[in-house]
């Protein structure tokens, strides 16, 4: 080992103290507020007149498990592409997501399912908590390698709260539809992370440039993440939709969209590549843009062709973004986006929101029949026209961008506090400062 790097102990907030504080706080709040809901409480469930088969569990748990795999396997390994940051990518994903699951159960509970001073939990709150954790991990992608675990936990503390509020404004106040979260998850997570990364801009980051790339096997580990995200994305978009045709249609649309973004990613990657060669960065990321872009509209009557077209467009934009826009983002806009979340979540998220505007605006009683009640209840009840729903959808996008930008700015200021664990410019993208085991790291 090339000499154990010294860390100025100073008056830093130690990771252990922060973990214990956060866990203590959420545990107390759980004790006071969190209770089993009607479907998980023994007395309440058996007090009702149900068959076991009616329990929400059987309709949502398989989808939940797929989402859970995406959050931990998918995001964790996708970020393990860095040659010397695999422990941190996978490990901090664990830490951040575990905390976010607890914290968002509380925040979302207060906002969405607070009855008689109690938060009622079940499989739907698990799905929503995982969605929020995924959002935090999207933002993590922008600052990957340049932030310590204490900083990241503070980021999660803030972001989970803002995520909950933004989602509440969109879904509950504005009546916006966004099942798969093109706005609430992808757009929010991306621009929160990008603005935060802007505030934390490091002009001397080239000191760590030699560690910024991948090695052969780290690229293969990253592909584990990509593939798990890709195969389970249909479950992600459909996990919270209405049961029956709603989940079924959402799955189908997402599936088609992903095949198209895969084909367009290969087409564009080869087109812009040296001698027609492909780039693993594109394949690891842009193939997934098809899942992001139909996040809002996949529960709607998008049509299979619409799903293909949307996926194709998203894969194209995303691949071109990696090739041409990421360098500009750093050089002109001083946003250092380690994983390129602007290309995978940012632009496809906005496209997805706009697609939602379009498809909502085209909704007719004829196309949805009695299903209009499930997809657009406000239109079915005559409270809104389709056009008006479309306007609300568009307004939801602006609200999201505003919350994300302001939140990311605040987050950046918070993470600049001097008592935190930001790595020096010369030690970015480096596991060794956070992880023991010099021998194994020296082998890499």
| Distances, alpha carbon 186 to alpha carbons 123, 181, 348, 404, 433, in Å | 22, 6, 8, 10, 30
109-138 binders of a copy of itself (CB under 8 A): 121-123, 126
- Minimal distance in Å, beta carbon 232 to a copy of itself? 7
**Strands of 118-121's sheet in order across:** 34-36, 118-121, 114-115
223 binds a copy of itself (CB under 8 A): yes
Structure tokens at 140: 């993590």
Contact between residue 93 and residue 137 where contact means Cβ atoms under 8 Å apart: yes
**Only segment of 156-164, 172-180, 264-272, 324-332 that touches a copy of itself (CB under 8 A):** 264-272
User: Restricting to residues 236-255, which ones interact with a copy of itself according to CB under 8 A?
Assistant: 242-249, 251-252, 255
Which residues ranging from 22 to 61 are in contact with a copy of itself (CB under 8 A)? 22-23, 26-27, 30-31, 34-36, 39-47, 50-59, 61
Nearest Cα neighbor of 102 from 193, 186, 28 is 28
By CB under 8 A, tell whether 66 contacts a copy of itself.
Answer: yes
Mask 67-86, x = binds a copy of itself (CB under 8 A)? Answer: -xx--xx--xx--x-----x
371 sits near a copy of itself (criterion: CB under 8 A): yes
DSSP 242: P
Q: How far is the CB of 72 from a copy of itself (least distance, A)?
A: 5
- The pair of three-digit structure tokens given for residue 134, joined into one six-digit string: 């995924």
Measured from the CB atom, the residue of 367 and 406 that comes closer to a copy of itself is 367
CB of 132 to a copy of itself, least distance (A): 13
Site size with a copy of itself, rule: CB under 8 A:
139
Among 163, 191, 312, 403, binds a copy of itself (CB under 8 A): 312
Tell me: does residue 418 bind a copy of itself (CB under 8 A).
Answer: no
Q: How far is the CB of 315 from a copy of itself (least distance, A)?
A: 10
Q: What 8-state DSSP symbol labels residue 295?
A: T
The reply to whether 350 sits near a copy of itself by the rule CB under 8 A is: no
Select the residue interacting with a copy of itself from 168, 174, 202, 273 (CB under 8 A): 273
Which residue's CB is nearer to a copy of itself, number 205 or number 222? 222
Binder to a copy of itself among 1, 173, 209, 271 (CB under 8 A)? 271
Phi, psi of 119 (to 5 degrees): -100, 125
Q: How far is the CB of 199 from a copy of itself (least distance, A)?
A: 25
Q: Tell the residue number behind the tokens 């879904």, with chain if given.
A: 171
Instruction: Give the integer Cα–Cα distance in Å for 81 and 75.
Output: 11
Per CB under 8 A, does 62 bind a copy of itself? Answer: yes
Rounded to the nearest 5 degrees, what angle is found at the Cα of 177, between the Cα atoms of 240 and 163? 75
Among residues 261, 197, 255, the alpha carbon closest in space to that of 404 is found at: 197
31 or 203: CB nearest a copy of itself? 31
Residues 6+ apart with CB under 8 A from 230: 258, 262, 287, 288, 291
Instruction: Choose which of 232, 236, 392, 403 interacts with a copy of itself (CB under 8 A).
Output: 232
Quote the CA–CA distance of 360 and 306 in Å, as a whole number: 13
2 belongs to the binding site for a copy of itself (CB under 8 A): no
Q: CB-wise, 123 or 292, nearer to a copy of itself?
A: 123
Beta bridge partners of 35: 120
Considering only 99, 131, 188, 236, the residue that binds a copy of itself (CB under 8 A) is 99
Binding of residue 361 to a copy of itself (CB under 8 A): no
Q: Which residues, numbered 277-306, are part of the site for a copy of itself (CB under 8 A)?
A: 277-280, 283, 287, 301, 303-305
Residues whose CB falls within 8 Å of the CB of residue 77, separated by 6 or more in sequence, listed in order: 89, 90, 221, 222, 224, 225, 228
In this structure, are strands 114-115 and 118-121 parallel, antiparallel, or unpaired?
Answer: antiparallel
Residue 390 binding a copy of itself, by CB under 8 A: no
Specify the stretch interacting with a copy of itself by CB under 8 A; choose among 157-165, 211-219, 329-337, 342-350.
Answer: 211-219
Q: DSSP E strands: which ranges in 90-237?
A: 114-115, 118-121
Question: What binding mask, one character per residue, do residues 152-191 give for a copy of itself by CB under 8 A, x or -?
Answer: ----------------------------------------
Q: Give the Cα separation of 444 and 441 in Å (integer).
A: 5
Please give the structure tokens belonging to residue 113.
């399912």
Q: Which of 305, 303, 431 is nearest to 367 (CA)?
A: 303
Does 343 participate in binding a copy of itself (rule CB under 8 A)?
A: no
């Amino acid at each position: 080992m090339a000499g154990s790097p010294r860390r100025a102990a100073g008056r830093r907030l130690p990771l252990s103290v922060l973990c214990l504080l956060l866990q203590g706080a959420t545990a107390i709040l759980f004790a006071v507020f969190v209770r089993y809901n009607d479907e998980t409480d023994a007395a309440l469930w058996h007090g009702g007149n149900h068959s076991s088969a009616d329990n929400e569990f059987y309709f949502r748990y398989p989808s939940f498990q797929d989402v859970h795999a995406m959050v931990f396997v998918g995001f964790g390994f996708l970020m393990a592409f860095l040659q010397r940051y695999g422990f941190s990518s996978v490990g901090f994903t664990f830490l951040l997501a575990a905390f976010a699951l607890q914290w968002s159960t509380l925040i979302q509970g207060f906002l969405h399912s607070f009855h008689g001073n109690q938060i009622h939990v079940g499989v739907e709150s698990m799905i929503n908590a995982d969605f929020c954790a995924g959002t935090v991990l999207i933002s993590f992608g922008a600052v990957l390698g340049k932030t310590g675990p204490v900083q990241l936990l503070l980021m999660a503390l803030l972001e989970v709260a803002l995520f909950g509020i933004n989602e509440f404004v969109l879904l509950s106040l504005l009546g916006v539809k966004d099942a798969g979260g093109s706005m609430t998850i992808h757009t929010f997570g991306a621009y929160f992370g990008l603005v935060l990364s802007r505030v934390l801009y490091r002009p001397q980051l080239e000191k760590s440039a030699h560690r910024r790339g991948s090695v052969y096997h780290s690229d293969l580990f990253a592909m584990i993440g990509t593939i798990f995200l890709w195969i389970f994305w249909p479950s992600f978009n459909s996990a919270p939709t209405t049961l029956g045709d709603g989940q079924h249609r959402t799955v189908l649309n997402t599936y088609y969209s992903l095949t198209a973004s895969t084909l367009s990613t290969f087409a564009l990657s080869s087109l812009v590549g040296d001698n027609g060669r492909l780039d693993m960065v594109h394949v690891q990321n842009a193939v997934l843009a098809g899942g992001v872009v139909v996040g809002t509209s996949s529960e709607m009557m998008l049509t299979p062709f619409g799903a293909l077209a949307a996926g194709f467009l998203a894969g194209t934009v995303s691949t071109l973004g990696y090739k041409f826009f990421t360098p500009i983002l750093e050089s002109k806009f001083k946003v250092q986006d380690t994983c390129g979340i602007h290309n995978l979540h940012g632009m496809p998220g906005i496209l997805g929101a706009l697609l939602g505007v379009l498809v909502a605006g085209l909704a007719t009683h004829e196309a949805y029949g009695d299903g209009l009640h499930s997809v657009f209840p406000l239109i079915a009840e005559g409270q809104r026209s389709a056009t008006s729903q479309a306007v609300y959808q568009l307004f939801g996008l602006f609200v999201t961008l505003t919350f994300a930008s302001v939140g990311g700015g605040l987050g950046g200021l918070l993470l600049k506090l001097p008592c935190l664990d930001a790595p020096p410019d010369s030690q970015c993208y480096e596991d060794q400062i956070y992880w023991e085991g010099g021998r194994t790291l020296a082998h890499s």
